[in-house]
Structure 1
Amino acid sequence: MKLTVPTLLTLLRILLIPVLVLVFYLPNNWTNFAAAFVFVLASVTDWLDGWIARRYDQSSAFGAFLDPVADKLMVAVALLLIVQKHPTPWMALWAAVIIGREIAVSALREWMAELGQRARVKVASIGKIKTIVQMVALAFLLYFEPLLLRWSGGVIRIPVFTIGEWLLAAAALLTLWSGLAYLHAAWPTLREDSRNS
């Protein structure tokens, strides 16, 4: 198996997961910045590996398998860390919706692949929008502290965590929407398969 640059970037994203956990629990006042930075770095590698694979024709079957696994692992770990630090019912609900949808869609894709219909459940534009909103939300929630912008007229306090909470709620709703879109796309095949069995 030849390791391409996109695959190496995907492996780097997986290696960043224990780094994220480690910096999150370090007893320092800069850990929130470090955790957010590690998560943003992982998110950038997610975009970069796809761009390089398309631009330089470096796609591979192993990379196509590993990329979504790395994404889901990073998102699930980030959500678990956030819920552990901020155990509110809403935070737990949004995390459960996002992780539950990822498991359900992965199972749906695997089943469709077994039926030879994987192309029916390819990533749609709503899924890409959901991913962007989700990544920004998680970075904000990991950072947690408000940003203080100083200017000649005074100081503006940006409530990063509150913005992150609202973005996570939006990401969870987009997650449900995109999950239903996947199910709708797969439904004719699933219905046909149930008739034949």
Structure 2
Amino acid sequence: MTNFAPIEFERLWGYLRNHLRDNWNVGRGRKCAQRPMDVLFMLLTTLKHCGKWDVVAGVFKIKPPKFQKMILSFATVLSPYLYERFVVSAADKFTMEALVLGGNAFRNYPSARYTTDVTFQHTNMPSDQMKERSAYYSAKHHLHGYKVEVSVLPNGLAIYCTDHYPGSEADIEVFRKNHKFHLQHLLKTESVMTKDL
């Protein structure tokens, strides 16, 4: 259902177990009856199939409103940890020097540290007034949706992912709004600068 082999799911669960034990189903209020490992599986299934909530909830025999609330609150607990562990840490770990020495430089652009693109994610048309709806309409794609900028290293790891922007936002404007990140991560280190001389 998730396209994860059991060993991959177990490895992912190993990374997340302690974080979820400390942050999921804690505090006051009603507790979730599902085990965190089961909710992780449900989240991955939901992300893969991405259909209507009632269809995915029916697979697990849980009422759709309860299922939606559970998955969204679980994702809210999980996503900052995943971003910090797998995205931000990759930016610090894989310097330009490490990429070149590891044989992971881009073939056509060996001096480029990462590549960046703005991706479009189709969504349903918002139910707001026409003015609010038009902000999410992309004339380029002829669809309503969101745009996200993602920067990826040559070894396939993402080192940056922005918040979403309305679909009508021009790609170049999304790049300009994230100018600070690019300036910070494209600075040459002292060792690289001495080699260039």
TM-score between the two structures when normalised by the length of structure 2: 0.29
Relative to its length, the structure with more strand (as a share) is: 2
| Bigger RCO (CA 8 Å, 6+ sep) | 1
